[in-house]
Amino acid sequence: MSLSDARWTRAFAALPARWRTVALLAPLLILDGVVFLVPMGYLFRLSLAERTTGGAFVEGSWSLSGYEYVAETPLVHEIFAFTMGFAVLVTALAVAVAVAYAYAAWRATGWWRTALLAGAVLSLFTTIVVKLFAVVLVFSPRGVLNDLLVGAGVLTEPLLLVDNPVGAVIAQLYIVVPYAVLAVYAVLSTLDDHLVEAARDLGADGPAVFREVVVPHARPGVAVAAVISFTWSVGAYPAPLLVGSGSEQTNAILVSQLLLAEFDWPAAAALAVVTVAVVLAALLAGLWRLDDGGELLG
């Protein structure tokens, strides 16, 4: 039975217009429900279970002890604050790099443009572990970058760029920047050359064109890049774990510890729920601010 099966086509055409829309959306809604809503609901239920030392959680119990743990443990507060700070910093840097990179790609022509865009896309072909290993290769004290800088006489001592907070940030940037670049570039590529020329013609120099024409136009792309970078970085796990010093604990690392090492599922679930809630609130607030043109939230 194929999609073009006449019986199905007729049945579909017989539906009222409203139900036809629903029918078309149904596969997506089902997928969303199965892979997202159901697990989220289960997670939420778990966060309201009683904590116990005798197992993962007390089945069928109702309790706020998981949330109490999140609210009252100073270590959790510290990690939470670090995670947010880390995510904000990575987002700011990623968006800045992405705007500059996408602008360069947009300005470039021919092979240059192809090379710059390929650079962004190709890095998506590798897995996160390979990517992080590349970070270590490039940025470690005996890595490519330090060798170059020391060899050229710019530095006398290699910089410590891995196994510390700087490393964690660089590694996280490696993960999110390509997506941010593509988000900004996609919007930038719709910028009409004539607008840039008009601004030049009206006396704007290079930086003024960038500030007055390019950035306002790229705004929706910047918003998307920021959303991607922020949500991803709040959930940062491999980058701080593998390229950080070990003291850059994030919420994700803590959740995994609670789940796997401490076997405290209600606490882990509560922390995850709180993190998701904070991310959603931050995104809504941020988008509200970025979106005074009304393009994203409608």
Is the Cβ of residue 16 or residue 207 nearer to another protein in the bound state? 207
CB of 196 to another protein, least distance (A): 9
Is the Cβ of residue 55 or residue 216 nearer to another protein in the bound state? 216
Q: Please report how many Cα atoms fall inside a 13 Å half-sphere around the Cα of residue 75, on the Cβ side.
A: 8
- Alpha-carbon span 3 to 262, nearest angstrom: 50
Q: Are 164 and 244 in contact (CB under 8 A)?
A: yes
CB of 200 to another protein, least distance (A): 4
Q: Which of 227, 254, 249, 228 is nearest to 239 (CA)?
A: 249
CB of 176 to another protein, least distance (A): 27
Is the Cβ of residue 16 or residue 203 nearer to another protein in the bound state? 203
Is the Cβ of residue 148 or residue 202 nearer to another protein in the bound state? 202
Backbone angles phi, psi at 140, to 5 degrees: -65, 165
Is the Cβ of residue 59 or residue 193 nearer to another protein in the bound state? 193
CB of 193 to another protein, least distance (A): 9
Mention every residue, 6+ apart, whose C-beta is less than 8 A from residue 177: 94, 97, 98, 101, 120
- Alpha-carbon span 26 to 76, nearest angstrom: 40
Is the Cβ of residue 70 or residue 213 nearer to another protein in the bound state? 213
Q: Which of 119, 93, 96 is nearest to 108 (CA)?
A: 119
CB of 187 to another protein, least distance (A): 13
Mention every residue, 6+ apart, whose C-beta is less than 8 A from residue 82: 248, 249, 250
CB of 205 to another protein, least distance (A): 6
Q: Which residues bind another protein (CB under 8 A)?
A: 192, 194-195, 197-205, 208, 212-213, 216-217, 219, 293
